[in-house]
Amino acid sequence: MFIVTKKEALTKAITRAKALHPRVRFVRFGEYQVTGSEGNEYTVRCYRDEQNQKVVECECPTKNGIACKHGVAALPLHIHLAAQRMSRAAA
């Protein structure tokens, strides 16, 4: 699990994700299946916690607090879908 604060904190994971081109599959809003570099699938969940912090949870063995490439790979899709939902709600 990691908390999204600034893009700079995610730089290393973004670089790894870009190099590996993981496949991200939508399950439902906030839940995605990401295929790792060795073909393993990891469930990634994106949500806001009680303090309204943006949280990303991944089932991979990366230690808590460190942004993993799977979570970072799922973020663009999640952000896009969240923006769509917000624009529909505002309409």
Q: Is residue 55 part of a domain?
A: yes
Residue 83 lies in a domain: no
The model's pLDDT over 2-31, given as tens digits with 9 standing for 90+, comes to 888 777 778 888 888 888 889 999 999 999
Within a domain: 37: yes
Beta-carbon count within 10 A of 4 CB: 19
Which of the 8 DSSP states describes residue 33? Answer: E
Count structural domains, the chain. Answer: 1
Instruction: Give domain status of residue 82, yes or no.
Output: no
Domain housing 24: 2-71
Domain assignment present for 8 = yes
Positive or negative, the CA dihedral 23, 66, 75, 33 is positive
Residue 53 maps to which CATH number? 3.30.310
Distance in angstroms (rounded) separating the CA atoms of residues 43 and 58: 6
Q: What is the pLDDT of residues 49-87, one digit of tens each?
A: 999 999 999 999 887 788 888 999 999 999 999 999 989
Q: Do residues 81 and 24 touch, judged by C-beta distance below 8 A?
A: no
Angle between helices 11-20 and 69-90 (to 10 degrees): 100
pTM (2 d.p.)? 0.85
